[in-house]
């Protein structure tokens, strides 16, 4: 199965998922968007009002800001994968609950395994906690750490920066560092020269998937 096919199967599974209570109130599930060959994966919190209406991540106010932040790093949405720790909207945008995070984690793990990004950027504390349990975002934001086969950089959530003006320079500064961090990650992972098209073919050929969720 190609990476593209794996991602579509995950999205399809998510669309009919009833593994946690969030399925009861969702309008559209939001599995995540982006190319199978993405070198960078962003992981946010969960769908909000507009995402629940449209079925796509970061399409509301924080999405507009995320677009500006991506531009700051010389990136476009077309080349990154954007997902969330929960794929269905928590009612009233409340925080996702531990059992919801646990239930939804299998999809996120399957997406990470399929895409195999060089860098994961966590946006906000829920996705940060997945990789850095107990870390304080104010202390670690913008710092890249190797975790297994990839690097993870915790960052503030764009919505937090929208609501707290004091965080804005931090998140802008962290995004500005991303291009250099990507080169550093590529070197460390031996992915210096990347032919994107070739990469997705190799990923498809080299890494037969054993996804047990289907």
Task: Return the number of the residue (43 or 203) whose C-beta is nearest ligand URA.
Answer: 43
The crossing angle, in degrees rounded to 10, of helices 61-72 and 168-188 is: 50
State phi, psi for 119 to the nearest 5 degrees: -130, 135
| Tokens representing residue 141 in the block | 């934001």
Shortest spacing between CB 190 and ligand URA, in angstroms: 32
Segment holding 141, helix H or strand E: none
Task: Return the number of the residue (35 or 211) whose C-beta is nearest ligand URA.
Answer: 35
Query: Is there binding between residue 33 and ligand URA (CB under 6 A)?
Result: no
Shortest spacing between CB 114 and ligand URA, in angstroms: 19
Q: How many residues bind ligand SF4 (CB under 6 A)?
A: 14
Query: What's the longest Cα–Cα distance across the chain?
Result: 47
Strand partners, 184: none
Strand partners, 42: 82, 121
The C-alpha angle with vertex 187 and arms to 181 and 191, in degrees rounded to 5, equals: 110
Task: Return the number of the residue (29 or 181) whose C-beta is nearest ligand SF4.
Answer: 29
Q: Which does 84 bind (CB under 5 to 8 A by kind): ligand URA, ligand SF4, none?
A: ligand URA
Q: Which does 100 bind (CB under 5 to 8 A by kind): ligand SF4, ligand URA, none?
A: ligand SF4
Q: Which of residues 73-92 bind ligand URA (CB under 6 A)?
A: 84
Query: Is there binding between residue 31 and ligand URA (CB under 6 A)?
Result: no
Choosing from 103, 159, 171, 178, the residue that interacts with ligand SF4 (CB under 6 A) is 103
Task: Return the number of the residue (62 or 111) whose C-beta is nearest ligand URA.
Answer: 62
Instruction: Give the Cα separation of 105 and 21 in Å (integer).
Output: 14
Q: Are 100 and 18 in contact (CB under 8 A)?
A: no
Q: Which of residues 5-64 bind ligand SF4 (CB under 6 A)?
A: 14, 17-20, 22-23, 29
Choosing from 6, 29, 37, 62, the residue that interacts with ligand URA (CB under 6 A) is 62
In the block, residue with structure tokens 């476009």: 76
Q: Is 33 helix (H, G, I), strand (E, B) or coil?
A: strand
């Amino acid at each position: 199965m190609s990476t593209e096919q794996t991602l579509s199967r995950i999205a399809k599974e998510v669309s009919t998922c009833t593994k946690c209570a969030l399925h009861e109130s969702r309008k559209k599930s939001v599995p995540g968007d982006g190319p199978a060959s993405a070198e960078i994966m962003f992981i946010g919190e969960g769908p909000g009002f507009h995402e629940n209406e449209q079925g796509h991540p970061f399409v509301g106010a924080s999405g507009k800001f995320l677009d500006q932040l991506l531009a700051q790093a010389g990136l476009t949405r077309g080349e990154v994968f954007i997902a969330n720790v929960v794929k269905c909207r928590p009612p009233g945008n409340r925080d996702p609950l531990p059992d919801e995070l646990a239930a939804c984690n299998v999809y996120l793990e399957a997406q990470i395994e399929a895409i195999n990004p060089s860098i994961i950027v966590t946006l906000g504390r829920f996705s940060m906690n997945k990789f850095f349990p107990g870390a304080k975002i104010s202390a670690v934001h913008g710092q890249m750490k190797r975790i297994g086969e990839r690097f993870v950089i915790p960052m503030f959530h764009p919505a937090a920066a929208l609501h707290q003006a004091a965080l804005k320079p931090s998140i802008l500064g962290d995004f500005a560092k991303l291009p250099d961090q990507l080169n550093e990650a590529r070197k460390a992972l031996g992915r210096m020269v990347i032919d994107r098209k070739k990469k997705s073919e190799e990923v498809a050929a080299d890494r037969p998937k054993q996804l047990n969720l289907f």
